[in-house]
Homo-oligomer: A and B are copies of this chain.
Amino acid sequence: MNAPAPMLRLTTQRQVILEELSKVKTHPTASEIYDMVRKRLPRIGLGTVYRNLELMAENGMILKLEVGGTQKRFDATTDNHYHIRCARCGKVDDLEIPVFNTLTEEASTASSYQILGHHIEFTGICPECQKIQEDEYEE
């Protein structure tokens, strides 16, 4: 059996991390969140940011996105939705298309895994990077 989950306290640090993450739609990395939070809590440690993001993700308060790139990203919007990542600059945006709940059922019949969920990651070039590419082509 597993140890009982410790009860989560709503510390100042935890609260500010959640507030700052909720303010943005950019799916920031841990160190980006660290920079945001540090403006309000200059003494906070990077480890604290990591620990709390991890804990909050485990408790379903936020999403931990394991998308492409070297760093994990975080999302305060917890309802299931899809993402698109720019292949050039790495930016991650939400993609506003309906979630395919049927996919999970279809996967259940096709696999011996017990399906828990799914995530779709689109890849593309963001508008800004499209412009840059056009400029490069002219040279």
A→B interface (CB under 8 Å): 1, 66-69, 84, 86-87, 93, 95-97, 103-104, 106-107, 110-127, 130, 136, 139
Are B113 and A93 in touch, CB under 8 angstroms? Answer: yes
Stoichiometry, copies per complex: 2
Given A69-B66, A116-B87: A111 and B124 within 8 A (CB)? yes
Instruction: Write out the residue numbers on chain B whose beta carbons fall within 8 Å of the beta carbon of A96.
Output: 110-111
Instruction: Write out the residue numbers on chain B whose beta carbons fall within 8 Å of the beta carbon of A114.
Output: 124-125, 130
Task: Please classify the interface of chain A as helix (H, G, I), strand (E, B), loop, or mixed, using the class held by over half of its residues.
Answer: mixed
Given A95-B107, A96-B110, A110-B97: A123 and B127 within 8 A (CB)? no
Which among A93, A95, A111, A113 has the highest number of chain B CB atoms within 10 Å? A113
Q: 17 extra interchain contacts, Cβ-Cβ under 8 A, other than A87-B116, A115-B122?
A: A66-B67, A84-B107, A84-B113, A84-B115, A95-B107, A95-B111, A96-B110, A103-B122, A107-B124, A112-B127, A113-B122, A113-B126, A114-B125, A115-B123, A116-B123, A117-B122, A119-B123
Instruction: Write out the residue numbers on chain B whose beta carbons fall within 8 Å of the beta carbon of A110.
Output: 95-97
A113 touches which of B103, B106, B116, B124 (Cβ 8 Å): B124
